[in-house]
Structure 1
Amino acid sequence: MTFVQLIECRTDRFEEMNRLIDAWVEQTRGKRTATHDLVGRDRSDGSHFVELVEFPSYEEAMRNSNLPETGRIYQEMVALCDEMPVFMDLDVVRDEQLWTDAVRRFFGTLCTTGELPPLNDLITEDCHSHDPVNRQDTIGLDAIRRECRMWRDAFDFTFTTEDLIAQGERVCARWTWNATHKGEFLGITPTGRRVTMTGMTLFRFGPDAKIADIWWQYDQLGLMDQLGALDALED
């Protein structure tokens, strides 16, 4: 079970404390078990700080605490505080990545049958879609919906999300696309063939928690080969 240690302290020497954290990160490289560290400053009290340190489990957190570097840095941190830091040990009982959920909903929405939904609950009005196949970016929700409809008119398809990695305002998805070619696609008449394509898409979320940028990378050459578009070139 994921474990989080919350550390609350007061200090007017945060820059020095920040350098201590940097020193701990450097000194424990390859040994520490912490996976995520977040420090927040109280907006109503500039000397009040809260640090959240995430570990894979309580046991890993205890291993981390027993590192000599951790003990040494802790003593130096206490010397910088106005009073003894307060620790709280938390077992994580719910961990929901809301942006990764939005990405899953985006791919699921693209695969829905019938009329394409508006997508305005997922994508900003001025979203930029960056596709290496297109000479220019596709800009704006309406233009992105038109491009989506082009793919939907040409194929019946599903996305399988293989991996989702979130960092800050960005989410990267590795996916597999399975489809049946039912309509004209880039001048290729319908073949009825079952085709598969793999790719990765990077999403950037804006301040309104909607997708503001999309970067696509996918194996279009492999898709064209499966559709028979490269047969004439091979001859």
Structure 2
Amino acid sequence: MTFVQLIDCKTSRFDEMNQLMDTWVEQTKGKRTATHNIIGKDRSDASHLIEIVEFPSYDEAMRNSKLPETDRIFRDMIALCDEPPTFTDLDVVRDEQLNAANVRRLFELAAAKGDLPPLNDVFAENYHDHDPANEQDTIGLDAIRRDIRMWRDGFDFEFTIDDQISQGDRVSTRWTWNATHKGEFVGIAPTGRKVRMTGTTVFRCQDDGKIVEGWWNYDRLGLMAQLGALDALEK
């Protein structure tokens, strides 16, 4: 179970505290078990800091605390505080990456049976799509809906999310696409063939979580080969 420690402290020596954290990061390379570190400053009191440190588990946090570098930095941190810091240990019982959840919902909606929904709850109106298969970028909600509808008219398909990484306003998704060619697609008459593609898409989300930009990378040439579109060129 993921474990998080909150360190609540007050210091008038923030720059020195910041340098101390840089020193700890440098000295514990290859040793530390912490996976994520955030320091927040209270907007109403600049001397009030809260540090959030994430670990894979409580046991890993204990291993990290026993590092000699951690112990040394901790003593130096105490000396920089205006008053003794407080510690809160938390087992994480829910961790929802909201931007990533919105991206997963997009893949689900794109492949869902029936009429294509409006998608205005997942895409921003000014969405900008970068797809190397298109001569020009697709810009706007209506335009991306037309692109998705083109794929839906040509195929019955589903996505499998293989990996997903969310950082800041970016969500990177590695996916597998399995489909049946049921209708005309870029001039190719329906073949009934089962086809498969893998790809990666990076989306940028705006503050409300809606997707505002996307970059696609997938094996379009491999898809054309599976549809038999390259057969004449090989003869």
TM range (shorter): over 0.9
| Runs of 4+ displaced beyond 6 Å | none
User: Structure 1 residue 71 and structure 2 residue 71: aligned?
Assistant: yes
Shift of 1:132: 0.9
1:37 match: 37
In the alignment, residue 80 of structure 1 is paired with which amino acid? L
Contact 2:102 2:209 in 1 (8 A): no
Inter-partner Cα distance in structure 2 for 1:12 and 1:145: 53
Per-residue Cα deviation, 1:121-169 (whole angstroms, up to 9, x for no partner):
0010001111011122111111000111011111111001111111111
3-state SS of paired residue (2:171) = strand
2:160 match: 160
Inter-partner Cα distance in structure 1 for 2:154 and 2:111: 12
Say how many residue pairs are matched.
235
1:184 match: 184
1:80 match: 80
2:59 match: 59
Inter-partner Cα distance in structure 2 for 1:37 and 1:218: 34
2:127 match: 127
TM-score, normalized by length of structure 2?
Answer: 0.98
Per-residue Cα deviation, 1:90-130 (whole angstroms, up to 9, x for no partner):
11111111121111110000011121100000010001111
Inter-partner Cα distance in structure 1 for 2:108 and 2:77: 48
Per-residue Cα deviation, 1:55-76 (whole angstroms, up to 9, x for no partner):
0111100110010100111111
2:217 match: 217
In the alignment, residue 146 of structure 2 is paired with which amino acid? R
Contact 2:98 2:209 in 1 (8 A): no
In the alignment, residue 113 of structure 1 is paired with which amino acid? K
1:151 match: 151
User: Structure 1 residue 234 and structure 2 residue 204: aligned?
Assistant: no
In the alignment, residue 13 of structure 2 is paired with which amino acid? R
2:97 match: 97
Instruction: Give the gaps of 5 or more residues in structure 1.
Output: none
1:46 match: 46
2:8 match: 8
Instruction: Give the gaps of 5 or more residues in structure 2.
Output: none
2:21 match: 21
The two structures, once aligned, show a CA RMSD in angstroms of 0.8
Inter-partner Cα distance in structure 2 for 1:135 and 1:82: 60
Contact 2:7 2:86 in 1 (8 A): yes
Inter-partner Cα distance in structure 1 for 2:15 and 2:137: 42
In the alignment, residue 51 of structure 1 is paired with which amino acid? E
3-state SS of paired residue (2:84) = coil
TM-score, normalized by length of structure 1?
Answer: 0.98
3-state SS of paired residue (1:84) = strand
Inter-partner Cα distance in structure 1 for 2:136 and 2:19: 44
3-state SS of paired residue (2:215) = strand
